[in-house]
Amino acid sequence: MATSNAQAISRPQPSVTYRWMILFFVSLTMFGNYYLYDSIAPVADLLKSQLHFTDQMIDRLYSFYSYAAVATLLIGGIIIDRIGTKKAITLFGSACAIAGVVTAISGDYHTMLAGRFILGFGAESLIAAVTTALAKWFKGKEIGLAFGINLTIARLGSLGTDWSPRLAGRLYSNWHDPLWLAAIIGGFCLFGAIVYWILEAAAEKKYVIGEAGSTDKLVLKDLVAFDRSFWYVTGLCLTFYAAIFPFRAFAIKFFQDAFNMPREAAGRLNGILPMAAMIATPLFGLLIDKVGKRALFMAVGSLIIVPAYLLMLPSLNMRPYLSVALIGVSFSLIPAVMWPSVAYIVDEKKLGTAYALMGLIQQIGVAAIFELIGPLNDRGGASAANPSGYNGMLYLVSALGFLGLFFSFMLWKTERGPHAHGLDNVKPKA
């Protein structure tokens, strides 16, 4: 045993090049993951016209993802800790790749639902496994930069989906071919995982690799330890993402119907949101680190969303560019402030539970709003012939903006009182 330990200590650290190879291939799995999730939006109108899906049927392709994600968020962290990052990334990456094929293989609605459910099982746990792997390889080194690059590559998947009608326009004469393209790109989830397994297995024989650490998972006994500030941030998380993701799922179809945009232009416009997040989120993060005022910035981000959606009401006859720009600012600002703030509000030993709980509540909220938006559109007769049928959807996501503003205001009020965590300071107290 002593000889074995001495041999391990004598091994060199992995080279910088080797670490960046690891980063690239685990990020490739995230690229495929994000592309698959957003792949329904560009074909929503084709599913309706060619397969006669209702908007409620389309939004359930997203809500079934969230249902599976809720279930696996409860156990995903435990699985990763038990089997390790190599096996976990391969397991969950395989599930994502299979999900893409199942979704594309048939126009049968229940088969598509099964595909999206499998994707929900794999995707959220894949994100947790990749995060754990990056912590193992980059902790104490370039971890901030590594996480930023990983998120940028992942959001390129969303951007690629939004731009696919322009880049692969010939495929969009039917619903089938774009989903097969998504299935092929979803194969990167498995390809990247296999290469990562090979690289790490080889590295374990030659290098000293960091410990993975604890994965975010739900510990029920920790829930009673959270104070009001955490629950206000969690309320903002729920309302913010429940307003953004369901709207993005219908945005391309909405822009086509309400503003007479071709699919390519609608996709480019929808792509502004992930592109803005890729560029502006790190910049907002730097700004917050310099000036503090975290609760105030969360309130500003929430306030921006409310008029952004209302300005797109078809009766106002305004083009949607200003609205999308405002949503893009909020989509970049709030995550840059919200997620890091949790680390200052919650004890470090309970941080895994806090993040797992936020993810769980976020997915429940997103699923609930998906279940509401489809029936609202169907009852309103939302279509190119009746753009005002989308009013219910716009009022709903605007109401979520108001709720988010309420939670962020209550957080700001709490942080100015005796139970403050110092979020308004440049360097919050530990």
Count Cα neighbours of 141 within 13 Å in the Cβ-side half-sphere: 17
The domain boundary residue, chosen from 217, 234, 261: 217
- pLDDT attached to residue 2: 46
pLDDT band at residue 158 under the 50/70/90 scheme: very high
pLDDT band at residue 372 under the 50/70/90 scheme: very high
| 1 within a domain of the structure (yes/no) | no
* Count: domains in the chain: 2
- pLDDT attached to residue 284: 86
The verdict on 233 and 301 lying in the same domain is yes
What is the tens place of the pLDDT at every residue in 45-88? 999 999 999 999 998 999 999 999 888 877 777 787 788 889 98
The verdict on 370 and 282 lying in the same domain is yes
Highest mean pLDDT among 102-116, 143-157, 224-238, 266-280 belongs to 102-116
- pLDDT attached to residue 123: 92
- pLDDT attached to residue 1: 46
pLDDT band at residue 404 under the 50/70/90 scheme: very high
Residue 79: domain span: 13-217
| 3 within a domain of the structure (yes/no) | no
The verdict on 229 and 375 lying in the same domain is yes
The verdict on 236 and 210 lying in the same domain is no
CATH code: domain of residue 153: 1.20.1250.20
- pLDDT attached to residue 226: 81
Is residue 144 pLDDT above 70, yes or no? no
The verdict on 292 and 339 lying in the same domain is yes
The residue type of 319 is R
- pLDDT attached to residue 4: 45
| 7 within a domain of the structure (yes/no) | no
Q: Between these two residues, 75 and 310, which has the higher pLDDT value?
A: 310
Does the reported pTM lie above 0.75? yes
CB 249 within 8 Å of CB 41: yes
The verdict on 228 and 180 lying in the same domain is no
- Report the distance separating Cα 134 and Cα 26, nearest Å: 8
The verdict on 162 and 195 lying in the same domain is yes
- pLDDT attached to residue 218: 59
| 6 within a domain of the structure (yes/no) | no
CB 189 within 8 Å of CB 29: yes
Is residue 220 pLDDT above 70, yes or no? no
Is residue 6 pLDDT above 70, yes or no? no
The domain boundary residue, chosen from 151, 182, 217: 217
| 5 within a domain of the structure (yes/no) | no
**How big, in percent rounded to 5, are the helix, strand and coil portions of the chain?**
80, 0, 20
The verdict on 203 and 228 lying in the same domain is no
- pLDDT attached to residue 83: 84
| 304 within a domain of the structure (yes/no) | yes
* Angular region, 132: left φ>0, alpha ψ -120 to 50, beta rest: alpha
The verdict on 253 and 155 lying in the same domain is no
| 317 within a domain of the structure (yes/no) | yes
The verdict on 213 and 233 lying in the same domain is no
The verdict on 230 and 302 lying in the same domain is yes
- Mean pLDDT computed over 386-397: 96
Residues contacting 263, CB < 8 A, separation 6+: 42, 45, 165, 172, 252, 256
A 10 A CB-CB count for 282 gives 17
What is the tens place of the pLDDT at every residue in 189-200? 999 999 999 999
The verdict on 248 and 213 lying in the same domain is no
- Report the distance separating Cα 94 and Cα 88, nearest Å: 10
- Report the distance separating Cα 310 and Cα 291, nearest Å: 31
Which of 390, 252, 281 lies closest to 339, judged by CA?
Answer: 281
The domain boundary residue, chosen from 166, 182, 217: 217
Count Cα neighbours of 60 within 13 Å in the Cβ-side half-sphere: 12
| 52 within a domain of the structure (yes/no) | yes
- Report the distance separating Cα 280 and Cα 283, nearest Å: 5
